[in-house]
Amino acid sequence: MVEYAVEVNDLHVWLGERHILQGVTFRCPERTVTAIMGPSGTGKSTVLRAINRLLDLNPEAKVRGRVKIFGVDVYSVEPYVVRRHVGMVFQEPNPFPHISIYDNVALGPKLHGIVRSKKELDELVKWALEKAMLWDEVKNRLYDLPTKLSGGQKQRLSLARALALKPRILLLDEPTANIDPVNAMKIEEAIKSIVREEGITVILVTHMPAQAVRISDFLVFMYKGKVVEQGPTRDVALHPRSELTERFMRGEL
Amino acid sequence: MSNSQILIQQDKVYRKRRIINYIGLTVIVALFITAFLPLFHIVYVTTINGVKAVSKVGLLEFLTAPPNPVDPQNPGGIGPALVGTLILVVLTTVFAVLLALPAGVFIAEFRYSGMSRLTLLLALILMEFPTVLIGLTVYAIFVERLIGRYNMLAGAIALTIVVLPYMIVQISEALRHIPYNLREAAFSIGLTRFKTIYRILVPVARRGILVGVLIGLAKAAGETAPLLFTIGGAYKMVPESLLEEGGAVPLLIYHYIQQPSEAYHVLAWGAAFILMLVVMGVMLISRAVVKEVKL
């Protein structure tokens, strides 16, 4: 039987009066990359925020439906527990500006008591920065503030911060949308290696069909709050059943 | 029309615009001067009179000695009143920060709750409250009923109530200006709301928070009305406990400038000069020392 890392079932989300998600259903098998693709304003980011319960921060948000990670309903447990195991990287690079590069990565593990000694913490920080392909660029200035880093480096630091908690699931909300192509390639490389070597399940939100095809195993195409089409990436990309999907893949939507 | 004619005609239009620009600039500079003239005037007059007063006995003597206004040749200094102000400012700052920090955080971080909006509204109302009424209320409770005499603690309580709303509003504004995505980042690594606030948000907003504390501190050092009925005005000696009568620099200025003798006036001007230096110094030093977090 296939083990699903994430199962989203008939998910509805309202933000105030607006019905943002209208019955979204999809499943992500463990150790795979699922790309959620679609034009802007379709509700892709809202799906991610429903999975790790960041929507709780918005008092206007109302959620109906079911979201399970490894079979556990995320709305039946504390949100902090969910977020501890479900990492997230945002569209805007957002390292904490007041603490060093090292502390940005180390803060989560320290506060969650994941490490027992300074040596263990040092190793974890190095591991996370290596996985995010940033170690070589920052190893000599770990105690500098992240404000001196470039946009792409900041984004990789955000990825390292998420990885340092050794999450089982990683949510990526258009992580390469605001950075240059070289940095974007590095992040894509990092994502592939994370899934391959660490067995983390990734959900990637993107509006770039080419990126979805390069990285993902499964594709979910969303339009106006609904899932239009989903399946293995090859099938959806090469033989789309819906005209909307086809038009989006051609760059017409 | 030839090309050169077009150029000359267009230049005429621009000449008119340049003149309007000069007029506008003159008006703005005039308004700037009008706005800042009172400030320059206060600083100038206080400095001229203050330096004259302080140099009469020497700076160290003026800052440490008790006043001796009966001797115009050697009127003494404002030592005990300065210590009184120091005590009041420290106490007020401690009390006010302890109350304003949680209140400011509550207003900024729970901004959608009705209680939080009510807190902000009450703070804004309190800000507009006549400070003399606050002094009177504290007098009725802490001087007349509870302790039975003028005392420094009552002064600090009255000052706390006066500066509290300024600090609350400033702290909540400082927190409000932090970009939303930093909150999301903190929550996304599983931090609780409490840890997000004290590990991320408060340190990021530290400069704004400190400015709020300093505004409060400067107000506490300069306020007179809340002290009128609370600390009594004993300028010759430092109070031995917080439950005793004491003095403060602004109150000394208020009392001494009303006296008919010249020696009192000398002391008042000197005290005003020192007060101005202290308040401005605190502002400048802390602005230079505390670095802003670059976002």
| B249 Cβ contact partners less than 8 Å away, ≥ 6 residues apart | B78, B81, B82, B84, B85, B221, B271, B274, B275
pLDDT in tens, A30-88: 999 999 999 999 999 999 999 999 999 998 999 999 999 999 999 999 999 999 999 99
pLDDT at A213 over 60: yes
Instruction: Select from B112, B183, B190 the Cβ nearest to the Cβ of A108.
Output: B190
Domain count, chain B: 2
Contact A90 B200 (CB under 8 A): no
For B156, B157, B186, B210, the CA distances from B148, given in Å and listed in that order, are: 16, 16, 51, 36
- Statement to judge: residues B197 and B148 lie in one domain: yes
Instruction: Report the pLDDT averaged over residues B136-140.
Output: 96
- Statement to judge: residues B110 and B172 lie in one domain: yes
B254 and chain A in contact, CB less than 8 A: no
- Statement to judge: residues B232 and B282 lie in one domain: yes
**Helical H segments across A24-117, by residue range:** 44-51, 79-85, 101-111
pLDDT in tens, A176-205: 998 899 989 999 999 999 999 999 999 999
Structural domains in chain A? 4-93+167-249 (3.40.50.300)
B203 and chain A in contact, CB less than 8 A: yes
pLDDT in tens, B171-200: 999 999 999 999 999 999 999 999 999 999
- Could you tell me the end-to-end alpha-carbon distance of chain B, in angstroms, rounded to an integer? 56
- A2 falls in which pLDDT band (50, 70, 90)? low
Contact B189 A145 (CB under 8 A): no
Chain A residues close to B199, C-beta within 8 Å: 107, 111
pLDDT at B275 over 60: yes
- The pLDDT value given to residue A251: 85
- The pLDDT value given to residue B35: 92
Instruction: Select from B182, B190, B293 the Cβ nearest to the Cβ of A94.
Output: B182
Contact B181 A96 (CB under 8 A): no
pLDDT at A100 over 70: yes
- Statement to judge: residues B269 and B190 lie in one domain: yes
Domain-embedded: residue B138 = yes
Percentage of residues in chain A with pLDDT exceeding 90?
92
Indicate the SS3 state at residue A96: coil
Long-range (24+ apart) CB contacts under 8 A made by B138-143 are B138/B226, B138/B229, B138/B230, B139/B229, B139/B230, B142/B230, B143/B229, B143/B230
- The pLDDT value given to residue A225: 95
pLDDT at B51 over 90: yes
- A143 falls in which pLDDT band (50, 70, 90)? very high
- Statement to judge: residues B97 and B43 lie in one domain: no
Instruction: Report the pLDDT averaged over residues B261-278.
Output: 93
Contact A83 B182 (CB under 8 A): no
B186 and chain A in contact, CB less than 8 A: yes
Q: Which amino acid is at B286?
A: S
**Which chain B residue shows the shortest CA-CA distance from A52?**
B188
Q: What does the DSSP assignment read for A136-149?
A: HHHTT-TTS-GGGS
Q: What is the DSSP-derived secondary structure letter of residue A196?
A: H
B residues 95-114 closer than 8 Å to A (CB): 112
- Statement to judge: residues B85 and B38 lie in one domain: no
Contact A54 B200 (CB under 8 A): no
- Statement to judge: residues B7 and B104 lie in one domain: no
Residue B215 neighbours by CB distance under 10 Å: 16
Exposed/middle/buried for residue B14 (C-beta within 10 Å: 0-12, 13-18, 19+): exposed
- Domain with residue B281: its CATH number is 1.10.3720.10
Chain centroid to CA B48: how far?
Answer: 23
Q: What are phi and psi of B261, to 5 degrees?
A: -95, 150
Nearest alpha-carbon partner for A187 in A126, A133, A130, A129: A133
pLDDT, mean over chain B: 92
Instruction: Report the pLDDT averaged over residues B210-236.
Output: 90
Contact A162 B183 (CB under 8 A): no
Mutate to test the interface with A, among B189, B194, B198, B293 (most CBs of A within 10 A): B189
**Which chain A residue shows the shortest CA-CA distance from B199?**
A107
Instruction: Select from A97, A111, A162 the Cβ nearest to the Cβ of B191.
Output: A111
Q: What are phi and psi of B77, to 5 degrees?
A: -135, -160
- The pLDDT value given to residue B291: 67
Q: Which of A154-163, B45-54, B72-81 has the lowest mean pLDDT?
A: B72-81
pLDDT at B32 over 60: yes
**Which chain B residue shows the shortest CA-CA distance from A155?**
B185
- Could you tell me the end-to-end alpha-carbon distance of chain A, in angstroms, rounded to an integer? 37
Contact predicate B70/B266, CB 8 Å = no
Domain-embedded: residue B139 = yes
Mutate to test the interface with B, among A48, A82, A94, A173 (most CBs of B within 10 A): A94
Q: What is the DSSP-derived secondary structure letter of residue A211?
A: H
pLDDT at A1 over 70: no
Domain-embedded: residue B172 = yes
Domain-embedded: residue B68 = no
Query: What residue numbers bound the domain in which B29 lies?
Result: 3-52
Domain-embedded: residue B232 = yes
Contact B190 A147 (CB under 8 A): no
- Statement to judge: residues B140 and B275 lie in one domain: yes
Q: In what order do the strands lie in the sheet with A72-73?
A: A18-29, A4-15, A61-69, A72-73
Instruction: Select from A52, A97, A107 the Cβ nearest to the Cβ of B294.
Output: A97
Q: If interface means Cβ-Cβ distance under 8 Å, which residues of chain A face chain B? A: 52, 54, 57, 59, 79-81, 83-84, 87-88, 90, 92, 94-99, 107-108, 111-112, 145, 147, 158, 161-162, 165
- Statement to judge: residues B37 and B95 lie in one domain: no
- The pLDDT value given to residue A187: 92
**Which chain B residue shows the shortest CA-CA distance from A108?**
B189
Please list the residues that pair with B232 across neighbouring strands.
B246
Kindly report the nearest CA distance between residue B106 and chain A, in angstroms: 15
Domain-embedded: residue B73 = no
pLDDT, mean over chain A: 94
B5 and chain A in contact, CB less than 8 A: no
Spatial distance between the Cα atoms of A241 and A231, rounded to a whole number of angstroms: 11
- Statement to judge: residues B135 and B199 lie in one domain: yes
Chain B residues close to A111, C-beta within 8 Å: 190-191, 195, 199
Domain-embedded: residue B137 = yes
The pTM for the full model equals 0.84
Q: What are phi and psi of A34, to 5 degrees?
A: -110, 125
Instruction: Report the pLDDT averaged over residues B72-76.
Output: 86
- Statement to judge: residues B133 and B271 lie in one domain: yes
- Statement to judge: residues B160 and B26 lie in one domain: no
